[in-house]
Amino acid sequence: MATLRHIAAAGLPAGMVFNDVARCLAEIAPFQSATLVLYDDDLRPTDALVTHDICPEVSNRYFQRWFNRDEARFMPSHAGAARGGAPDVFKVSDYNPRLWETELYDEVFRELGFARMASMMLREGGKAVGNIAFGRAVGGPDYSEADLKAFESAAAYAALALSRRAAEPGLFESADLEEVETGVVTTNREGEVLQLSHNASRLLRQASMAYYSPAAVLERWRTRGPAAEADAWAWARPLLAELAARVGAGLAGRPGAPAIVRRASPHGEFVLKAYAMEAQAAGRRDDTVVVQISRRTPLQARLFASALFRSLTPQEQVVCRRLLEGMGQPQIAAQLGLSPHTVVSHVRNLYRRTGANSRETLQAAVLNGGALALR
């Protein structure tokens, strides 16, 4: 709970901290996966984030058919729950104890690998801003009353942590940014997606504000049929075509911008670098371009993913974060209103608990301490 409060106070966009919020909630009441849907003022979806792999077909089926429509046949719809038609935290089995016999389960939840679910409405000032669904594996225990009360106690902090906010100006200008994920996309000069590495699809979506604009999200979830599938990457073409054009200009010796683009989105800062492929490479067209996508996140966002950081006391977390941001101990004491002796004591405890003996080894211990998987 202490780390959840810390995340809420950090004020980072939901895309950066959702997995970390889910880890904190899983430590309060265990589950295997979580899905977040954020709303606009009319309770329409503006974004969906998941902690687990989910194929686009399953997601599309849910939003095209079930979201706020047919799901009310089996459990409270998001809109119904947001308007007070259900408790803010409930288990689905209270409404449908045999969910696994429904069409909704067959079309969506079976492929996700879980049958026991709980729901948490996120509110700010009484207004619904989103919903988190928690899934437990098939054959696992249902949620207990103690689990639901634990979620209720955390709901306000989760809502603050995941509220709709943009990345603040200057957030990505820090030297503390670190590369945490990479992916590769191959494209042609028209910007058509030819091939993607394992996680490149997600990184490309996260890097593109065009993909996450409310209008684009609603249009994508309303659109059905083969034509929509064939044009599934239309939102990415302008960006990829621009990178391909820069590569082509460089190969032709024409002056122009380098084949690199930086984009800041609610999911981090993304660097996209484009390279030309050798024309003779087997099976490659002579206009094929490779785009490498790297996601970089601020130090404070990376801390929340560390199981070691989450194991610290609330005061130790604050001191640790200030240390890793480069503050000296006198500065930390002045900013937090603590005595220098108290800060020295916290730093000593931090070093003892992490096995560190300097600021550098503390950072290595905390950031490389591993992220705790959802239980």
Q: Which residues contact 92 (CB under 8 A, 6 or more apart)?
A: 75, 99, 116, 117, 118, 119
Q: Residue 374's pLDDT is what? A: 44
Task: Name the DSSP class of 175.
Answer: T
Q: Are 306 and 294 in contact (CB under 8 A)?
A: no
Q: Residue 147's pLDDT is what? A: 95
The predicted model scores a pTM of 0.67
Q: Residue 68's pLDDT is what? A: 85
Q: How far is CA 298 from the centre of its chain?
A: 14
Beta bridge partners, 50, equal: 35
Rg, Å, the chain Cα set: 23
Question: Longest C-alpha distance within the chain, in Å?
Answer: 68
Run means of pLDDT, 10 residues per run, the chain, 375 residues: 77 82 91 90 83 75 84 90 92 90 88 87 90 89 94 92 69 62 89 86 77 57 53 80 89 84 80 78 65 83 79 85 86 89 90 86 76 40
User: Can you list the positions of beta strands (E) in 188-227?
Assistant: 193-196
Q: Which residues contact 159 (CB under 8 A, 6 or more apart)?
A: 122, 123, 124, 129, 130
CA separation for the pair 190, 292 (Å, rounded)? 17
Q: Residue 174's pLDDT is what? A: 59
Coil, helix or strand for 11? coil
Q: Residue 189's pLDDT is what? A: 87
Mind listing the domains of the chain with CATH numbers? 2-161 (3.30.450.40), 171-299 (3.30.450), 306-367 (1.10.10.10)
Q: Residue 172's pLDDT is what? A: 59
Q: How far is CA 222 from the centre of its chain?
A: 23
DSSP-derived secondary structure for 76-133: --HHHHHTTSS-SEEEGGGT-TTGGGSHHIIIIIHHHTEEEEEEEEEEETTEEEEEEE
Q: Residue 211's pLDDT is what? A: 59
CA separation for the pair 165, 86 (Å, rounded)? 27
Q: Residue 370's pLDDT is what? A: 44
Distances (CA, A) of 235 to 205, 207, 219, 231: 9, 11, 12, 9
Q: Residue 142's pLDDT is what? A: 92
Distances (CA, A) of 275 to 185, 220, 283: 11, 30, 17
